[in-house]
Amino acid sequence: MTFPGSLDDTDAARAVRYAGAEPVPLWHADRDLRGVDAVILPGGFSYGDYLRCGAIARFSPVMAELVPAARSGLPVLGICNGFQILCEAHLLPGALTRNAGLRFITRDVRLTVANTDTAWTSGYAPGQQLLIPLKSGEGAYAADPATLDELDRAGRVVVRYASSAPNGPAPNGSARGIAGVCNEAGNVVGLMPHPEHAIDPLTGPSGDGLGFFTSVLQAFAGAGLAGADK
Amino acid sequence: MSDKDTVEVAASTPGQPQPFAELGLTAGEYANRDILGRRPTAAELALYSVMWSEHCSYKSSKVHLKRLAPNEEQARKLLAGIGANAGVVDIGQGYAVTFKIESHNHPSFVEPHQGAATGVGGIVRDILAMGARPVAVMDALRFGPADAHDTARVLPGVVSGISFYGNCLGLPNIGGELAFDPCYAGNPLVNALCVGVMRHEDLKAAVATGPGNKVVLFGSRTGPDGVGGASVLASATFGGDGDGKARAKRPSVQVGDPFMEKLLVECCLELYAAGLIEGIQDLGAAGIACATTELAAGGEGGMRVTLDDVPLRDPSLTPAEILMSESQERMMAVVTPGNVAEFLRVCAKWDVEATVIGEVTSDGTLTMTWRNGTVVSIPPRTAADGPVYQRPMARPADLDSLQAAPPDGLDRPKDGPALRATLLALLGSADEADKSWVTAQYDHYVRGNTVLAMPEDGGLLRVDEQTRLGIALATDGNGRYCRLDPYHGTQLALSEAYRNVAMTGATPVAVTNCLNFGSPEDPQVMWQLAEAVRGLADGCAALGIPVTGGNVSLYNQTGDNAIHPTPVIGVLGVHDDVSRRLAAGFTTDAAQVVLLGATREEFGGSAWAHVIHQHLGGRPPAPDLDAERRLATLITTAASDGLLASAHDLSTGGLAIALAESCLRGGRGCRVSVAGDPFTALFSESAARAVVSVTPGREDEFARLCAAHGVPATVLGETGGDTLTVEATFEVPLPELRQAWESTLPALFG
pLDDT, tens digit, 9 for 90 and up, residues B615-653: 999 999 999 999 999 999 999 999 999 999 999 999 999
The predicted-structure confidence for A92-128, as pLDDT tens digits, reads as follows 999 999 999 889 999 999 999 999 999 999 999 999 9
Q: Look at residues B442, B578, B452 and name the one whose alpha carbon lies nearest to residue A204.
A: B452
Say if residue B189's pLDDT is above 70: yes
pLDDT of residue B135: 98
Contact A4 B350 (CB under 8 A): yes
pLDDT of residue B201: 87
Q: Are A114 and A143 in contact (CB under 8 A)?
A: no
Taking the CA of residue A98 as centre, how many other CA atoms within 13 Å lie in the half-sphere pointing to its CB? 4
Say if residue A166's pLDDT is above 80: no
pLDDT of residue A31: 93
Mean pLDDT of B207-223: 93
pLDDT of residue B156: 96
Residues of A in contact with B435 (CB under 8 A): none
pLDDT of residue B139: 97
Of A44-53, B141-150, B649-658, minimum mean pLDDT range: A44-53
Active-site residue, from A80, A87, A138, A182 = A80
Which domains are assigned to chain A? 9-221 (3.40.50.880)
- pLDDT level of residue B1 (50, 70, 90 thresholds): very low
Nearest CA in chain B to A6: B170
Of A224-228, B196-200, B492-496, minimum mean pLDDT range: A224-228
Residues of B in contact with A11 (CB under 8 A): 445-448
User: A223 CA to chain B: closest CA distance, Å?
Assistant: 33
Contact B448 A196 (CB under 8 A): yes
Say if residue B336's pLDDT is above 60: yes
Mean pLDDT of B508-517: 97
The predicted-structure confidence for B446-478, as pLDDT tens digits, reads as follows 999 999 999 999 999 999 999 999 999 999 999
pLDDT of residue B245: 55
Residues of A in contact with B449 (CB under 8 A): 203
SS3 of chain A: helix, strand, coil, percent, to 5: 30, 20, 50
- pLDDT level of residue A219 (50, 70, 90 thresholds): confident
Q: How far apart are CA A116 and CA A122, in angstroms?
A: 5
Mean pLDDT of A190-201: 98
Mean pLDDT of B191-213: 90
Q: How far apart are CA B110 and CA B451, in angstroms?
A: 35
* A14, A107, A203 member nearest B440 (Cβ): A107
Mean pLDDT of B268-291: 94
Residues 100-129 of A with CB under 8 A from B: 103-107
Catalytically annotated residues of B: 55, 104
Say if residue B172's pLDDT is above 50: yes
User: A4 CA to chain B: closest CA distance, Å?
Assistant: 7
The predicted-structure confidence for B477-508, as pLDDT tens digits, reads as follows 999 999 999 999 999 999 999 999 999 999 99
Q: Is A196 on the interface with B (CB under 8 A)?
A: yes
Say if residue B244's pLDDT is above 80: no
pLDDT of residue B239: 63
Which stretch of DSSP H or E encloses residue B346?
helix B340-349
pLDDT of residue B242: 44
Say if residue B274's pLDDT is above 80: yes
pLDDT of residue B99: 96
User: A62 CA to chain B: closest CA distance, Å?
Assistant: 15
* B259, B260, B442 member nearest A106 (Cβ): B442
Contact A8 B446 (CB under 8 A): yes
pLDDT of residue B243: 46
Please state the three-class secondary structure of B15-38 as a single string: CCCCCCCCCCCCHHHHHHHHHHCC
pLDDT of residue B227: 83
pLDDT of residue B204: 81
Contact A105 B257 (CB under 8 A): no
* A45, A50, A133 member nearest B445 (Cβ): A133
User: A11 CA to chain B: closest CA distance, Å?
Assistant: 6
Instruction: Between B79 and A136, name the one with better pLDDT.
Output: A136
Mean pLDDT of A153-167: 81
Contact A106 B160 (CB under 8 A): no
Q: Where are the alpha helices (DSSP H) in B68-194?
A: 72-75, 105-110, 112-128, 151-169
Q: Is A7 on the interface with B (CB under 8 A)?
A: yes
pLDDT of residue A223: 47
User: B259 CA to chain A: closest CA distance, Å?
Assistant: 5
The predicted-structure confidence for B675-707, as pLDDT tens digits, reads as follows 999 999 999 999 999 999 999 999 999 999 999
Which domains are assigned to chain B? 399-509+572-749 (3.90.650.10)
Q: How far apart are CA B78 and CA B70, in angstroms?
A: 9
pLDDT of residue B647: 98
What is the number of residues in chain A? 230
Q: Look at residues B399, B546, B530 and name the one whose alpha carbon lies nearest to residue B80.
A: B546
Contact A45 B578 (CB under 8 A): no
- pLDDT level of residue A51 (50, 70, 90 thresholds): confident
Computed over every residue of chain B, the mean pLDDT equals 94
Mean pLDDT of B20-41: 90
Contact B448 A7 (CB under 8 A): no
Strand partners for B732: B724
CA max distance for chain B: 88
The predicted-structure confidence for B248-261, as pLDDT tens digits, reads as follows 666 667 788 999 99
Q: Look at residues A193, A192, A195 and name the one whose alpha carbon lies nearest to residue A216.
A: A195
Say if residue B24's pLDDT is above 80: yes
pLDDT of residue B419: 98
pLDDT of residue B246: 59
Mean pLDDT of A44-70: 90
Considering chain B, what percentage of its residues have pLDDT values greater than 70? 96
pLDDT of residue B292: 94
Q: Left if phi > 0, otherwise alpha if psi is -120 to 50, otherwise beta: which for B691?
A: beta
The predicted-structure confidence for B571-628, as pLDDT tens digits, reads as follows 999 999 999 999 999 999 999 999 999 999 999 999 999 999 999 999 999 999 999 9
For strands B670-672 and B723-726, give the pairing.
parallel
- Please tell me the pTM assigned to this model: 0.94
Computed over every residue of chain A, the mean pLDDT equals 91
Contact B446 A135 (CB under 8 A): yes
pLDDT of residue B78: 86
